[in-house]
Amino acid sequence: MYLLFFSLTILMGIAVGWAIGANDAANSLGTAVGSRVLNLKQAIVLIVIFGFLGAFLQGSHVTHTIGKGIVPIDKLGKTSALYVALVASFAACAWVVLATYWKMPISTSHSIVGAVAGAGLSIHASVNWKVIQDVFICWIFTPIGAAVLGYIFYRIFKNVFYRLIPRRYLKATLTVLIITSGCYVAYSWGANDVANSVGVISGAGILTPNASIILGGSAIVLGITTWGYKVIGTIGSEITNLAPIMAFSAQLASAINVHIYTLFGIPVSTSHSIVGAIFGVGMVRGMHVLNLRIIREIVVCWLATPFISGIISFMALKAIMVFVKIS
């Protein structure tokens, strides 16, 4: 029985990584697609490369927080740790897949944090509410910080570029900058979000941290290539129509924002960051250019995410406990 659930936990970790790749790929170069600098296939190739590099080189920062900081999974019994990892991965995956089907860019960070907390509560494990509080505060400031940076960058760049760059070089320069900043977003996303797929697996001692990161990074790549196109359209064109200079400003703001949190080991939402950044650059041109309906729908999904994944996780582990004794 243990071997069965061990295998299922590995598979669910892969499934979460796949779901993250499918939902969050848009956060990296969706704006580049929306501004017609890249086509969909070109964007996916670059997201795959730089997202995996971020996961492999700096993914360990946030993996520790997800795996041990919310619920001390490494201090639970062997069986308890396994089941917490299994149901948390299942709950996070289920909600992210559903949101991706709806083309909603939600937070996979919110989903896995809520799921881990829900699983911990179901077995009366110690939940570190201080860490959750700190993470929650950072979640609030993620879109706000990105919006502020996006607003500032766009106001600066829209004047600087058209004054300093000769007209004949303008398009080529913007293309290079948009692609470069998009790759930076993909890198910072991979570094922050790989923990959402394998943090609990690493924390439970099922795989070593390095093996977990490679597994999660590979699963994310699979998600990008198979279903990543669905949310890219929402990010790229449905919030506001993006001119190239707007896309560059939004991507740079989002990448810097997420990378700072990653260095401190804080799991934040790249979805919150890029949507906030797009909102910020859109504000420079006025509220009338923003699709407030789609923004409202996105925010509702954001607010619901940790609670829905937490409830799914709590109920799933309670259901397992009816049939299996957990120690």
List average pLDDT for each run of 10 residues in the chain, which is 327 residues long. Answer: 78 84 71 76 85 83 67 80 88 86 76 90 87 83 93 90 84 89 88 73 76 82 76 57 81 92 83 85 75 75 88 93 76
Which residues touch 142 (CB under 8 Å, ≥6 apart)?
257, 258, 261, 268, 269, 272, 273, 276
- Amino acid type, 140: I
Return the closest-CA partner of residue 60 out of 206, 190, 254, 221.
Answer: 190
73 vs 81: CA distance, rounded Å: 5
Return the closest-CA partner of residue 27 out of 182, 136, 180.
Answer: 182
The per-residue pLDDT for 219 is: 85
Residue 119 per-residue DSSP state: H
| CA separation, residue 95 to residues 15, 74, 91, 155, 312 (Å) | 12, 25, 6, 37, 9
Backbone angles phi, psi at 238, to 5 degrees: -90, -20
Are 11 and 216 in contact by the 8 Å Cβ rule? The answer is no
- Give the number of domains in the chain: 1
303 vs 296: CA distance, rounded Å: 11
160-199 per-residue burial string, b: 16 or more CB within 10 A, e: under 16: ebeeeeeeeeeeeebbebbbebbbbbbbbbbbbbbbbbbb
pTM: 0.76
Task: Classify residue 103 by burial, with Cβ atoms within 10 Å: 0-12, 13-18, 19+.
Answer: middle
Which residues touch 215 (CB under 8 Å, ≥6 apart)?
10, 13, 14, 17, 197, 198, 201, 207
Task: Classify residue 11 by burial, with Cβ atoms within 10 Å: 0-12, 13-18, 19+.
Answer: middle
Task: List for the chain the helix, strand, coil content (%; round to 5).
Answer: 85, 0, 15
| CA separation, residue 201 to residues 51, 83, 91, 131, 154 (Å) | 20, 10, 14, 19, 40
Which residue range(s) make up the domain with 207? 2-323
- Which of helix, strand or coil describes residue 180? helix
